[in-house]
């Protein structure tokens, strides 16, 4: 869907741009010349309405010429700078909630052309702890949002609801499992969760963020993704070169790299940097009214994303 919209936007931008250029170079000067000749031949001063009726502008050309600057700005903004996304699920709770509308910085991991997403200019690489939007590897038409946990070369272990990382590095600490620093905050009940969740503060790289754990749900190890080219336990993964390991902050309610594998670098869309608006949606207990009706604005959620 996103690629289809990008293609449509490119086509509309090109068509209106071509019309705008032709109008500037040919049609516009021709209209101006015809009206100037009519004024010179007239014995009285012609008003604007009369002049506009001479060599009138085609309505399609007029609309295309007027729309081009707006569409061009939207195209540049969406394709290379920032793109808005809506959070549709609770997999990133408590960092992101259903109803959050976020801005994704498209150039964080390189400038890419808008259709096939081939990198044009290298700008930066994902950092551990980034909240990132990417194309779902099993269906690139779908956009996912998760947190970057593993970088190329890392060994990731998720066991008994504890995350461990062996970082790919040259220091003497490499090869030693490091459990991420987790501090229990307290229990909290969320509208989109059936049970009371445990909230923890976790430090991932240099990023301190919050995660949710369902104490009543066992790790679904039997459904974890298994690498074919390396020998590891079911709860271990080694991140290949040019790939990343993603996890949701709602650890027991997130289908992420634990279940379907790694995200190739080419699938990265950008870094989520801010919530620009957040809506609370009406929940009809009778299931009659649609669930997309906003019932309020959560102004306290507007701001940066950690």
* Residue pLDDT, tens place only, 234-257: 999 999 999 999 999 999 999 999
Nearest alpha carbon to residue 211 among 167, 176, 256, 173: 256
Q: Could you tell me whether strands 268-281 and 303-304 are parallel, antiparallel, or unpaired per DSSP bridges?
A: antiparallel
Tell me: pLDDT of 6 over 80.
no
Nearest alpha carbon to residue 224 among 182, 261, 176, 170: 261
Residue 72, classed as helix, strand or coil, is helix
Q: Could you tell me whether strands 207-213 and 155-159 are parallel, antiparallel, or unpaired per DSSP bridges?
A: unpaired
Where is pLDDT greater, at 157 or 1? 157
Determine whether 119 is an active site residue.
no
pLDDT value, residue 288: 55
Which two three-digit tokens encode residue 162? 């504890």
List pLDDT tens digits, range 84-118: 999 989 999 999 999 999 999 999 999 988 877 78
pLDDT value, residue 292: 67
Residue 57 · residue 32 · CB < 8 Å: no
Where is pLDDT greater, at 39 or 96? 96
Residue 108, classed as helix, strand or coil, is coil
Is residue 79 reached through a cis peptide bond, with omega within 30 degrees of 0 on the bond before it? no
Residue 34, classed as helix, strand or coil, is helix
H helix runs in the chain, sequence order: 2-22, 28-41, 48-53, 59-76, 257-260
- In whole angstroms, give the CA distance from residue 187 to residue 190: 10
May I ask the CATH class of domain 87-304?
mainly beta
Q: Which residue in the list 106, 146, 155, 199 is annotated as catalytic?
A: 146
List pLDDT tens digits, range 15-36: 999 999 999 999 989 888 988 8
List pLDDT tens digits, range 205-240: 889 999 999 999 999 999 999 998 888 889 999 999
Residue 21, classed as helix, strand or coil, is helix
Q: Where are the domains of the chain?
A: 2-80, 87-304
Q: Which residue in the list 91, 108, 257, 278 is annotated as catalytic?
A: 91
Tell me: pLDDT of 172 over 60.
no
Residue 127 · residue 296 · CB < 8 Å: no
Determine whether 146 is an active site residue.
yes
* pTM recorded for the entire structure: 0.84
């Amino acid at each position: 869907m996103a690629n289809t919209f990008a293609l449509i936007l490119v086509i509309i931008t090109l068509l209106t741009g071509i019309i705008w250029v032709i109008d500037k170079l040919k049609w516009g000067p021709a209209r101006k010349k015809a009206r100037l000749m009519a004024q010179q031949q007239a014995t009285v001063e012609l008003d604007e309405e009369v002049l506009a009726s001479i060599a009138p502008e085609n309505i399609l050309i007029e609309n295309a010429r007027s729309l081009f600057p707006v569409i061009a700005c939207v195209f540049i903004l969406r394709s290379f700078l920032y793109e808005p996304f809506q959070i549709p699920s609770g997999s990133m709770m408590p960092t992101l909630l259903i109803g959050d509308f976020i801005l994704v910085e498209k150039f964080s991991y390189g400038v890419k052309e808008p259709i096939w997403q081939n990198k044009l200019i290298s700008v930066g690489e994902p950092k551990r702890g980034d909240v990132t939007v990417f194309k779902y590897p099993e269906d690139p038409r779908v956009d996912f949002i998760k947190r970057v946990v593993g970088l190329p070369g890392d060994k990731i272990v998720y066991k008994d609801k504890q995350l461990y990382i062996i970082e790919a590095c040259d220091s003497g600490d490499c090869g030693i499992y490091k459990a991420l620093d987790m501090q229990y905050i307290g229990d909290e009940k969320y509208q989109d969760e059936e049970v009371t969740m445990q909230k923890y503060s976790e430090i991932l790289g240099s990023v301190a963020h919050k995660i949710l754990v369902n104490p009543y749900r066992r790790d679904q190890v039997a459904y974890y993704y298994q690498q074919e080219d390396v020998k590891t336990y079911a709860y271990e993964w080694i991140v290949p070169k040019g790939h990343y390991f993603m996890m949701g902050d709602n650890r027991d309610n997130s289908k992420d790299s634990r279940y379907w594998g790694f995200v190739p670098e080419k699938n990265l869309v950008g870094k989520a940097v801010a919530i620009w608006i957040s809506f609370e949606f009406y929940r009809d207990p009778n299931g009659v009214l649609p669930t997309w009706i906003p019932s309020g604005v959560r102004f306290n959620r507007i701001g940066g994303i950690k």
